[in-house]
Structure 1
Amino acid sequence: MGPARQDTTTTNKPQAITDTGLRAERVSRTAGGSLIVDGITLAPRPGTVVGLLGPNGSGKSTLLRLLAGVLAPTAGVVTLDGRPLRDLGRREVARRTAVVEQQSDTQVDLTVRDVVRLGRVPHRRAWSPATAEDERAVDEALARTDLTNRADQPWHTLSGGERQRTHIARALAQSPRELLLDEPTNHLDIHHQLDLLHLVASLPLTTVVALHDLNLAAMFCDEVLILNNGRAHAYGTPTEVLTEKLIAEVYGVRAVVTREEGYPSVRFVRR
């Protein structure tokens, strides 16, 4: 299990404005005439894990794509060290920020090492061979994710948990400072969910992760941002934010929230 998180912020307390790291300032995104993300500000503290929580359709994945520069905001701005993403090249952003999607697959016959090597693409010129530095980064990423003994194994033979760890290894091979993950525990059993999030929480990176499971967020996130209908509903530590009242407001369900091992534990009540 992950370590208990220390309470450091207040629910709905405005975040400190900083020009360092990844930051979204009052970002909105409209698609098909609908407002998907509505005026959200997020400035994760360096080295922390921030969880994005909320019901389906609340804007979690869209906000992650805005942070990654995959989508451009309709209003507001996303910055890296004070520089708008729109002013930075895709390669420069990819050298700093790594993304792990919900599920990624390939029809190409690749080994685990081949997949992890893809993380070095932003650091290399087109058609140039891998350097010794590239191979060191790949080896370190494989070791960090406990995949060294799987390096030469075909990708398609891996389990779901091993595939997700491989994608995190690919992200680590980018040598990023920020890591963005969209529902990384989907389709994994409990053991692999805990194993994967323990790995994520142990990384020396600033991490933003979209999650459905409130208990996993409570265990592994330093802070959480609750989204509801595209808006920021609450922000703070899991202990401050994950209350019975908020769960009823946002999710429309009854829950009993207790505190165990330093973080809240949510038990849902049958109707």
Structure 2
Amino acid sequence: MTAGLGAERVARTAGGTLILDGVCLAPKPGSVTGVLGPNGSGKSTLLRLLAGVLAPTAGVVTLDGEPLAGVGRREAARRIALVQQQSDTQVELTVADVVRLGRIPHRRAWSPASAADERAVRSALERSGLADRADRPWHTLSGGERQRVQIARALAQEPRELLLDEPTNHLDIQHQLELLDLVRSLDLTCVVALHDLNLAATYCDEVVVLRAGRVVTAGTPGAVLTEELVADVYGVRARITHPDPDCGPHIRFLGTV
């Protein structure tokens, strides 16, 4: 049996437009896989298919070798957590309230939180560095803190697979690094959609590059992120060096092609 989450030649059509076409993905358990590509390449759609939020038009998403559609929404939600791009709410919630939402897949409707639920919430807050902000109102947080709260909510689900859709968008450099340090430290299978190629090279074990809904190439950042690839996919000239073999390649952008 194939362990973990995978996509086998998945396609997705919306409004008559082909968004994804024959994409395969098989992240290694415990690894960080980056999904790269220009705007409109299908990164967000792929993550939503992997999470079961969307159904593929063709192909199949599997969980431990079984079609995700047959696993059941509640069971899938216990295994797979999705952190989407910046979210907001008008409801007056504290940080702890938001993190508690991650326990919904583990609770029966209208049932009160159990001791196990509260332990999971406390653990998620601590792992995310938010224990001292548990009672802070959500709307008073910075963008970086809100992203950490969303990751804490996902961790409270106690998933084995964590999907993150461009989690570093709108964050300053310090918060980008802190957030990806956190993701890197988790003992989970993580799939992360990223725009920043240098962050992908630093934090990802493998990357998958999409263009117009199709996989261009996949592999380690050192093998995949070449000057030719950046010019072909992104239309940008780049100089790529390998100053530190432990940190992946470094990309310096020189201008458009």
Alignment TM-score, normalising by the size of structure 2:
0.97
Q: Which of 173, 179, 183 lines up with 1:200 in the alignment?
A: 183
Map 1:48-197; keep pairs closer than 5 Å.
48-197=31-180
Residue of structure 2 equivalent to 1:5: none
Residue of structure 1 equivalent to 2:9: 26
* Larger RCO (CA under 8 A, 6+ residues apart): 1
**Larger CA deviation: 259-268 vs 179-188:** 259-268
Moved over 4 A (4+): none
1:268 maps to a residue whose letter is F
In 1: Cα distance, 2:202 partner to 2:70 partner: 37
**Larger CA deviation: 258-267 vs 137-146:** 258-267
SS of 1:27's partner is strand
Aligned length: 254
Q: 1:157: Cα distance to partner?
A: 0.5
1:265 equivalent to 2:247? Answer no
1:219 equivalent to 2:202? Answer yes
1:241 equivalent to 2:224? Answer yes
Alignment TM-score, normalising by the size of structure 1:
0.92
In 1: Cα distance, 2:132 partner to 2:212 partner: 44
1:28 maps to a residue whose letter is A
In 2: Cα distance, 1:189 partner to 1:154 partner: 22
In 2: Cα distance, 1:210 partner to 1:223 partner: 12
- Structure 1 residue runs without a partner (length 5+): 1-17
1:254 equivalent to 2:216? Answer no
% identical equivalent positions? 72
- Measured against aligned partners, the alpha-carbon deviations of 1:16-72 in whole angstroms (never above 9, x if no partner) come to xx6110010010111111111010110100000000000001110111111011111
Q: 1:89: Cα distance to partner?
A: 1.7
Q: 1:83: Cα distance to partner?
A: 1.3
- Structure 2 residue runs without a partner (length 5+): none
Q: 1:234: Cα distance to partner?
A: 0.5
- Measured against aligned partners, the alpha-carbon deviations of 1:132-160 in whole angstroms (never above 9, x if no partner) come to 10001000000000100000011100111
Q: 1:270: Cα distance to partner?
A: 2.9
SS of 1:260's partner is coil
SS of 1:215's partner is helix
- Measured against aligned partners, the alpha-carbon deviations of 1:211-256 in whole angstroms (never above 9, x if no partner) come to 0000000000000000011100010000000000000110111000
Q: CA RMSD in A?
A: 0.8
- Measured against aligned partners, the alpha-carbon deviations of 1:184-231 in whole angstroms (never above 9, x if no partner) come to 001100000000001001100000000000000000000000001110
SS of 1:261's partner is coil
SS of 2:255's partner is coil
In 1: Cα distance, 2:97 partner to 2:244 partner: 40
Residue of structure 1 equivalent to 2:25: 42
- Measured against aligned partners, the alpha-carbon deviations of 1:85-143 in whole angstroms (never above 9, x if no partner) come to 11122111100000001111111100000000000000000010111100010000000
